[in-house]
Amino acid sequence: MRVTILLKWEPVYGQDLAGYKVRWGLMDKKPSRVVIVKRGTTSMMLVMSVRRKTVYGVTVASYDVAGNESTQTMLTSVYVD
């Protein structure tokens, strides 16, 4: 059975903020999927159709209008029960 998880993070404020890059994937591998969340939309996202009894890893980084990316957050694990 597949489920949906909600990911939230603390927003970054700045005039040159363009958005966020959310990386996620199976925890035993480097997060390989990248989702771009544009500025002004939100500081959260839904990840749909993930497997139960599985551990996922997630990192978030902000990026500016010039394309510069911040340091990624620490790898956070998400267990889907």
Enter the DSSP assignment of 69.
B
User: Both tokens of residue 13?
Assistant: 């404020």
Q: How far apart (Å, rounded) are the C-alpha atoms in residues 64 and 48?
A: 27
Q: Counting beta carbons within 10 angstroms of the beta carbon of residue 79, is it exposed (0 to 12), middle (13 to 18) or buried (19 or more)? A: exposed
User: What pTM was estimated for this model as a whole?
Assistant: 0.86
Question: Residue 80: how many CB atoms within 10 A of its CB?
Answer: 15
Query: Residue 20 has what pLDDT?
Result: 95
pLDDT tens-digit map of 20-73: 999 999 998 878 899 999 876 678 999 999 999 999 999 999 999 999 999 999
Domain boundaries, the chain: 2-80
Question: Domain 2-80 is in which class?
Answer: mainly beta
Calculate the average pLDDT of the chain: 91
Cβ contact 54:24 at 8 Å: no
